[in-house]
Amino acid sequence: MILLLKSATIIDKTSPFHQQIKDVLIENGKITKISDTIENTNNIKEINLKNLHISQGWFDTSVCFGEPGYEERETIENGLNTAAKSGFTAVAVNSNTFPIADNKATIQYIKNKSYGFATDLYPFGALTKGYESKDIAELFDMKNYGAIAFGDYKKPISNANLMKIALQYTQNFDGLVMSFPQDNSIAQNGLVNEEENSTKLGLKGIPALAEEMQIARDLFILEYTGGKLHIPTISTAKSVNLIKEAKKKGLNVSCSVAAHHLALTDSELKEFNSNTKVLPPLRTERDTEALINGVNEGVIDMITSDHNPIDIEHKKVEYRNAKFGTIGLESLFGALNNILDTEVLIDCLTTKPKQVFNIESSSIQEGELANLTLFNPEEAFTFTEDAILSTSKNAIFLNKKLNGKVYGIISNNKAVL
Residues annotated as catalytic (active site), given as ranges:
306
Tell me the C-alpha distance between 59 and 77, whole Å: 17
Query: Which amino acid is it at 172?
Result: N
205-206 and 192-193 beta bridge pairing: parallel
Beta carbons within 10 angstroms of residue 285's beta carbon: 10
For CA atoms 126, 130, 136, 141, the dihedral sign is negative
Q: Which residues pair with 95 in a beta bridge?
A: none
Q: Report the greatest alpha carbon distance in the chain.
A: 68
Contacts of 303 (CB under 8 A, 6+ apart): 256, 257, 258, 259, 262, 295, 332, 336, 345, 348, 349
Contacts of 328 (CB under 8 A, 6+ apart): 258, 259, 260, 305, 306, 307, 335, 395, 396, 397
Tell me the C-alpha distance between 101 and 106, whole Å: 5
Tell me the C-alpha distance between 137 and 100, whole Å: 11
Residue 125 sits at φ, ψ, to 5 deg, of -100, 155
Contacts of 250 (CB under 8 A, 6+ apart): none
Query: 133 in helix, strand or coil?
Result: coil
Tell me the C-alpha distance between 392 and 91, whole Å: 18
Element (DSSP H or E) covering residue 195 = none
The DSSP secondary structure of 63-103, one letter per residue, reads E---TTT-TTT--HHHHHHHHHHTTEEEEEEPS-SSS-S-S
- Contact 215/243 with Cβ under 8 angstroms? yes
